[in-house]
Amino acid sequence: MIKPQKRRPIRPGEVLREDYIEPLGMTQGALADALDVDRSTINEIVNGRRAVTPEMALRLAHALRTTPQYWINLQAAVDLYDAQHSPLAKEVAQLKVLVSV
């Protein structure tokens, strides 16, 4: 099992706000319009209440000249951290190991 990180990775919404929305001087509404999504969708991503989906990663990558993988990797890092720090992680650690290295 991968050793959990000590700090939660930065959320994709924080990156979106700090590296794109604020420096470009745009509003969440303007970004939502450019991506052809509801304003609430962008607001929920920025505020950590919604994950970046593969579809949203495609939209963000196109509009912001990044890659979809960039957004997916940010989301995956947060999701994995959350899973590793959940009650389920303790249960998983007790499962039988099937392959030895």
- Give me the pLDDT at residue 101, please: 81
Domain residue limits, the chain: 12-93
Q: What predicted TM-score, i.e. pTM, was given to this entire model? A: 0.88
Token pair in block for residue 4:
């959990």
List pLDDT tens digits, range 57-101.
999 999 999 999 999 999 999 999 999 999 999 999 999 999 998
Q: How far is CA 81 from CA 4, 36, 64, 90, in A?
A: 7, 30, 26, 14
Phi-psi region of 2 (alpha: psi -120 to 50; beta: other; left: phi over 0): beta
Which CATH class name applies to 12-93?
mainly alpha
Using CA atoms, how far apart are residues 81 and 5, in angstroms rounded to an integer?
7
Note the Cα 58 to chain centre separation in Å.
13
**Rounded CA separation 79/9 (Å):** 9
Predicted pLDDT of residue 4: 55
